A and B are shown apart, each in its own frame.
Chain A
Amino acid sequence: MINELVYNIAVWMDDTKWSTMLHESYYMYNWVESTHVLTLMLSLGMLFLIDLRMLGYALPDVPASRLAERLNIPMLVGFTVMFITGILLFYAVPVRTSQSLWFRIKMVLLVACAVNAFLFHKRMNESAASWENEPRAPSRIRMGAILSLAFWSIIVVCGRFIAYDWFDCDTSPNTFIDVISGCVDGQTRF
């Protein structure tokens, strides 16, 4: 039911003129994809420095909350660019992307990252005054940093795997994977 709805929306998007133009434009598509990938240096670069600071591996003598606060703005700029280019990439290839197992795992993990980031900042702001000059953050904050590093690493892996066709609807003989990938019975396209 939900898979059919997602599929129909994706087919509708795919039929729009702009989607086709973006997909078939060699340079534009590559520019968007390159921007999406290269902005990792800004978004994940800042995020990983903050996480590594909490674990005591980067800038241990810089107050933790100050570092997080100062790097938040460039990080959010990076994530905004990634979000916009990510939507464009989805819009360019909506059917195959929406039926990608890796894309679906990536989306679930993005939600998990958002929840983790919210809890991480909440806990840090509540308690930073008592430990922010320590080289390592308390265990609860460190756990948030480890989860952040792990989730984002898996997201990058999934993002890379989307390009491969191992579990595409017309190639996978596994019914379970077909269901979680959103393959629709009798679909004739892609």
Chain B
Amino acid sequence: MPTSFFAAYSRTLFTLGAILLALVFAYGGWMEAIYPPLLGVFEWLETTWFGVIGKTWGAAFAFVEAIHLLGLAVLGGCVIASDGRLLGLVLTDVPVQTVVERTHKVFVWALVALLATGIFMACGVATKIYYLPVYWFKMMALGSGMLFHFFIRKPLLQHDANMLNPVVVKMVAIASILVWFMVAATGRWIGFSG
């Protein structure tokens, strides 16, 4: 029984473990221990090629920012279409499985673009964002979003949606929209901070 339980819910348990670890990290005193040495990493990031380009050429930084926004638009579109379908708000005459699976492929490409451009931007302003609480909130939201998407939402929706509890499906959709909105909103707020 315990073995089969762990096997069936391995990814969910992994995600819960990761969230627990993050909470211990944040409130258990680990963060205070790790945070100061991390400054060296962020200072180093500014000396990398990405950091130098981002700091030297404002136009390059702004252009990458725009690509980041375009990636955000595509990712947001996938989340709204896919979770909107789960909530029965859009594309109601297209099968759930079709919308979820097809938008997932585009979602992954958008996420890759967001991560690549995000790393570039972070390098350009590394020592600024190191001191911004909202940046760390964004990283936590991003980590939670990716864990949630790949380890809870996707495995769950691989099953026939008609066999799943409709309340669970709707809760998953709402959680997905909220977590990705949180990622976008905290990202926007970085621009207003510091």
User: Which A residues are closer than 8 A to B by beta carbons?
Assistant: 30, 34, 37-38, 40-49, 52, 57-62, 66-67, 70-71, 74, 153, 156-157, 159-161, 163-164, 166
Within 8 A of A (CB), among B33-92: 58-59, 62-63, 65-66, 69-70, 72-81, 84, 90-92
Given the interface contacts A58-B102, A59-B98, does A41 sit within 8 Å of B65 by beta carbon? no
Q: List 29 A-B contacts (CB under 8 A).
A: A34-B185, A34-B189, A37-B188, A38-B185, A38-B188, A40-B72, A41-B80, A42-B76, A42-B77, A44-B70, A44-B77, A45-B77, A45-B80, A46-B80, A49-B74, A57-B106, A59-B98, A59-B99, A60-B102, A62-B98, A71-B81, A71-B90, A74-B80, A74-B84, A74-B90, A156-B69, A160-B62, A160-B63, A160-B66
Verify B80–A66 contact, CB threshold 8 A: no
User: Across the interface, which residues of B come within 8 angstroms of A57, CB to CB?
Assistant: 106
Complex Cα spacing A153 to B80, Å: 20
Of all A-B residue pairs in the complex, the 10 with the closest CB atoms, nearest first, are A41-B76, A45-B77, A44-B73, A157-B66, A160-B66, A59-B102, A40-B73, A45-B76, A34-B188, A58-B106
For A41, A57, A58, A159, which residue has the most chain B Cβ atoms within 10 angstroms?
A41
User: Which B residues are closer than 8 A to A by beta carbons?
Assistant: 58-59, 62-63, 65-66, 69-70, 72-81, 84, 90-94, 98-99, 102-103, 105-106, 181, 184-185, 188-189, 192
CB distance from A78 to the nearest CB of B (A): 9
Given the interface contacts A49-B81, A71-B90, does A41 sit within 8 Å of B184 by beta carbon? yes
CB distance from B88 to the nearest CB of A (A): 12
Verify B69–A40 contact, CB threshold 8 A: yes
Complex Cα spacing A16 to B63, Å: 34
CB distance from B178 to the nearest CB of A (A): 13
User: Across the interface, which residues of B come within 8 angstroms of A49, CB to CB?
Assistant: 74, 77-78, 81, 103, 106
Contact of A58 among B69, B103, B185 (CB under 8 A): B103
A49-B77, A161-B66 known, 14 other contacts, Cβ within 8 Å: A38-B76, A40-B69, A41-B77, A43-B73, A44-B74, A45-B76, A49-B106, A58-B106, A59-B102, A66-B94, A74-B84, A156-B70, A160-B62, A160-B65
CB distance from B47 to the nearest CB of A (A): 24
Complex Cα spacing A52 to B106, Å: 9
CB distance from B183 to the nearest CB of A (A): 11
Complex Cα spacing A156 to B177, Å: 23
CB distance from B106 to the nearest CB of A (A): 5
For A38, A52, A66, A71, which residue has the most chain B Cβ atoms within 10 angstroms?
A38
User: Across the interface, which residues of B come within 8 angstroms of A156, CB to CB?
Assistant: 66, 69-70, 73
Verify B79–A67 contact, CB threshold 8 A: no
Complex Cα spacing A70 to B80, Å: 13
Given the interface contacts A62-B102, A164-B58, A164-B62, does A38 sit within 8 Å of B77 by beta carbon? no
CB distance from A87 to the nearest CB of B (A): 19
CB distance from B144 to the nearest CB of A (A): 18
CB distance from B185 to the nearest CB of A (A): 6
CB distance from B39 to the nearest CB of A (A): 28
